[in-house]
Structures are given as structure tokens and as C-alpha cells.
């Protein structure tokens, strides 16, 4: 006797959210964006693994991909190839696979205006990146570019950057968000913001919270529409140094036209 079929096998009876995740609703798909910053101090930073706000290019650029470890290379024991998911000059989605060359720069064939996600696609015997993998521009120092647009931290094997830009032709609907903080002493406050930046370049606050070793959950009964080409970014700011912060937000992307 065969395994029982899912009630959504033919896309008829299951919950709408499950059908979207299974690709059964034309023109709809879900995106979950995670971010983590292990060291939030008294300057506002993006929820990503670096102590800065994540920069965004003013124009689409060919970027260099590099690692801090020589074993992340085509035949190495570490990461061998990385997939980059981003947007081109017209905010249209593009994807490129790059073969690593250790601490040396590998230039992308495509020009990227935004980086939405990166992950290790293939690896050697360790089944993991050996170092931190960067995408950026400018002079490399031990595999680190002068300007960093995103990073895959060692042993994460994908980006954990709380930032996402809505592709052209879609509207994003923000259905859920979470912001969490922690610190060893438990005595400092951390402000978390969700910032929306449109084509006018103005960084508007979509949500804000303040926590002390806690978690703030947001569930929107009526999902919040986010127009195409808008960048959503989670940021954190501590009242004292040495905090950690994580973020998560879930979007449903719906095509503006199915024709």
C-alpha cells in the first residue's frame, strides 16, 4: 500500500500559505529573510555579521567574490562555488554561480544593483566554507574587499543579512516579523528598527521596538504592502556595547500583473 497523498497534492484543499510555499498559486511566492549580528554597540548597524550599516550601490556593478581562506577554491576542501541571488540595474531578478579562487577576486559576469541572498552551492571534503566569503568592490586585503556588500560567515554557508529588496514587477506583503536581542549582563537596551527605503532614498521607519534580553513578535492580520524596488532592512542600536541581535521577516511576493 502506497503512502497517503497530501490533501494539497492537486492544490485544492490545503491552507493557502502551504499552497504558496509549494508553488501552487500562480504569481505568488514566499520569502523569509533572517539576519544576525553578534556585536551590536552604540552605533546603528544592519542586522548582519558586520559592525556597520550594509551599503547599497548607487548603480549596478560587477562585484568581486573572495574568501579569507585559500581552501575555498575550485578544487579545495572548503567552499567551491557560491550562488548569488540579486537584482540588476532595472531591479529584475538575476542569479549567478561563481567558482571561488581562495583569497583572490573572482569578478561576477553580471552587474548587481542589489544582493538579496548568497549561499555555498558546492564544497569539498569539509562540506563547508573554510573562511568568510565576501562580495564587494575595491582593493582586497587577505580576501576582504574595501567595500563589502554582503558576507557569508564561516560555517554559516549562506548569508544572514536582514535586508531584502522587492524585485521589479512585484509587491511584497509583510506578514510577520521578529526581533530578538541578548547580552551577557542583561542590563542594556537594544533598539530594533525595520527601515523601508524607496527610490527617493529616504529611510522611513516601518516598525521600531526596544528590548532587554527579549523577543518582539509582529504578526500583521492585514499584511503590509511594500512596493516594488523598496528595500527593507532590519537595524539594531545598543544603549551599551556587546549585544547580539537577530531579525526575521516574512514576505509574500505577488506579481503586479499575470499577463
The overall longest dimension of the chain from CA atoms, in Å, is 62
Instruction: Please report which helix (H) or strand (E) contains residue 17, including its range.
Output: helix 16-21
pLDDT of residue 1: 44
pLDDT of residue 151: 98
What is the residue-wise DSSP string for 134-186?
Answer: EEEEEEEETTEEEEEEEEE-TTT-B----EEEPPTTEEEEEEEEEEEEE-SSS
Residue 4 has pLDDT above 60, yes or no: no
- 76 grid coordinates: 579545495
Q: Which CATH number fits domain 27-54+163-255: 2.60.120.660, 2.130.10.10, 3.30.565.10, 3.40.50.970?
A: 2.60.120.660
Q: Where exactly does CATH 2.60.120.660 map onto the chain?
A: 27-54+163-255
pLDDT of residue 187: 78
pLDDT of residue 3: 47
84 vs 19, residue with greater confidence: 84
Q: What does the pLDDT look like over 172-229, one tens digit per residue?
A: 999 999 999 999 877 789 999 999 999 999 999 999 999 999 999 999 999 999 999 9
Residue 38 has pLDDT above 80, yes or no: yes
- Grid look-up 500562480 returns 26
Hey, is 103 helix, strand or coil?
coil
Count other Cβ atoms within 10 Å, centred on residue 209: 17
pLDDT band at 258 (very low <50, low <70, confident <90, very high): confident
pLDDT of residue 12: 59
Residue 148 has pLDDT above 70, yes or no: yes
Nearest C-alpha neighbor of 118 from the set 153, 71, 90, 147: 153
Q: What does the pLDDT look like over 81-128, one tens digit per residue?
A: 999 999 999 999 999 999 999 999 999 999 999 999 999 999 999 999
Average pLDDT (229-258) is 96
Residue 145 has pLDDT above 70, yes or no: yes
Report the C-alpha gap between 2 and 16 in whole angstroms: 26
Amino acid at each position: 500500500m502506497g503512502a497517503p497523498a497530501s490533501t494539497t497534492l492537486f492544490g485544492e484543499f490545503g491552507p493557502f500559505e502551504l499552497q504558496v510555499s509549494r508553488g501552487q498559486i500562480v504569481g505568488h511566492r514566499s520569502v523569509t529573510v533572517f539576519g544576525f549580528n553578534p556585536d551590536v554597540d552604540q552605533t546603528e548597524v544592519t542586522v548582519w555579521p558586520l559592525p556597520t550599516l550594509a551599503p547599497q550601490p548607487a548603480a549596478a556593478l560587477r562585484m568581486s567574490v573572495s574568501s579569507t581562506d585559500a581552501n575555498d577554491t575550485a578544487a579545495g576542501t572548503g567552499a567551491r562555488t557560491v550562488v548569488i541571488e540579486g537584482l540588476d540595474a532595472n531591479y529584475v531578478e538575476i542569479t549567478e554561480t561563481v567558482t571561488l579562487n581562495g583569497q583572490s577576486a573572482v569578478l561576477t559576469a553580471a552587474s548587481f544593483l542589489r544582493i538579496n541572498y548568497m549561499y555555498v552551492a558546492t564544497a569539498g571534503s569539509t562540506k563547508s566554507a573554510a573562511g568568510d566569503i565576501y562580495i564587494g568592490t575595491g582593493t582586497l586585503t587577505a580576501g576582504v574587499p574595501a567595500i563589502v556588500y554582503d558576507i557569508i560567515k564561516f560555517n554559516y554557508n549562506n548569508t544572514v543579512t536582514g535586508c531584502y529588496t522587492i524585485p521589479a514587477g512585484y509587491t511584497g506583503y509583510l506578514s510577520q516579523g521578529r526581533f530578538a536581542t541578548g547580552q551577557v549582563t542583561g542590563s542594556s537596551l537594544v533598539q530594533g528598527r525595520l527601515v523601508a527605503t524607496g527610490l527617493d532614498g529616504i529611510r522611513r521607519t516601518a516598525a521600531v521596538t526596544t528590548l532587554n534580553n527579549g523577543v518582539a513578535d509582529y504578526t500583521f492580520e492585514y499584511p503590509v504592502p511594500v512596493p516594488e524596488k523598496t528595500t527593507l532592512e532590519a537595524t539594531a542600536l545598543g544603549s551599551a556595547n556587546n549585544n547580539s541581535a537577530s531579525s526575521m521577516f516574512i514576505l509574500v511576493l505577488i506579481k503586479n500583473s499575470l499577463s
